Amino acid sequence: MLISHCPNPACGKPLAWNYAFGIKFCESCLDDDSCPTTDLRSFDQPKLLGDDLEVYRRLPASSPPNPRAAAIPSFFQSWNGWEIFDMVVMLAVFLSRRFGDRFHLTGPASFALPEWHQNFMIAARAVMGWPDSISEIVQLMKEKAASRSGYYGRNKELGPMADFGEGYGATPKARAAIESAIVTFYAGVGRSMPESIYQAPPTRPTK
């Protein structure tokens, strides 16, 4: 299972790759010569089984190059592996922030949530079934609309997905893909995508 914090009990810091030690090492665990001392592979981690493992194997960032064309939807054939993987993480962060009291949750804080893995797997399956699978994520967003502020509009209905990744720092390619999929979803249910992002109640005439 992917991890975001060092498993060394004496460290526990978020994993980052600002220095060229490689993804197998924690860059915060260093000796007096600034060499890494914690090899992440030496710690037992939760293992994936069954369908979850298969979804991980299909993600471009964890798959060999040769079967890539067969592993991902044709929509993403021109994308780099890291772009697809970033799309999964972005959608998982959106899912983590769909509750009103988590709207401003940061990415690292999302990774620490107990349900992060579940959100990641929902996002991964959505990308692997893109674009039709956006319907599940939209539905999950709409289910928590009552917990978000406001009375109507795109922010109320779609929550953190309303800005198509602007708050996440998404690439233009990812933002366009999300917007197109959402527009297609609403068209499929006979609606136009909510245009308004107002958080105030509609104006009513005074008597």
Q: What is the pLDDT of residue 122?
A: 94
pLDDT in tens, 102-158: 888 887 788 888 899 899 999 999 998 998 899 999 999 999 998 987 777 888 888
Task: Give the separation between CA 161 and CA 186, rounded to whole angstroms.
Answer: 14
Q: Is residue 145 part of a domain?
A: yes
The two three-digit tokens of residue 137, written as one number: 């994520």
Q: What is the pLDDT of residue 85?
A: 87
Beta bridge partners of 5: 14
Q: Is residue 204 part of a domain?
A: no
Taking the model in full, what pTM does it have? 0.75
Task: Give the separation between CA 104 and CA 161, rounded to whole angstroms.
Answer: 12
Task: Give the separation between CA 28 and CA 52, rounded to whole angstroms.
Answer: 30
104 & 91 share domain: yes
- 15 or 196, which is more confident? 15
Q: Is residue 205 part of a domain?
A: no
Task: Give the separation between CA 111 and CA 24, rounded to whole angstroms.
Answer: 19
Q: What is the pLDDT of residue 5?
A: 86
In the chain, the number of structural domains is 2
Nearby residues of 68 by Cβ (< 8 Å), 6 or more positions away:
60, 81
Q: What percent of the chain has pLDDT over 70?
A: 86
| Containing structural domain, residue 11 | 1-46
61 & 162 share domain: yes
Task: Give the separation between CA 160 and CA 177, rounded to whole angstroms.
Answer: 16
The two three-digit tokens of residue 122, written as one number: 């929902």
Beta bridge partners of 14: 5
| pLDDT of 56 higher than 70 | yes
17 & 69 share domain: no
> What's the mean pLDDT when you consider all of the chain?
82
Taking alpha carbons only, the member of 101, 105, 104, 68 closest to residue 83 is 68
180 & 161 share domain: yes
Q: Name the band, by pLDDT with cuts 50, 70 and 90, for residue 45.
A: confident
pLDDT in tens, 144-191: 998 987 777 888 888 888 876 666 778 888 888 998 999 899 888 888
Instruction: Say which residue the tokens 């978000």 belong to.
Output: 148
Q: What DSSP designation does 162 have?
A: G
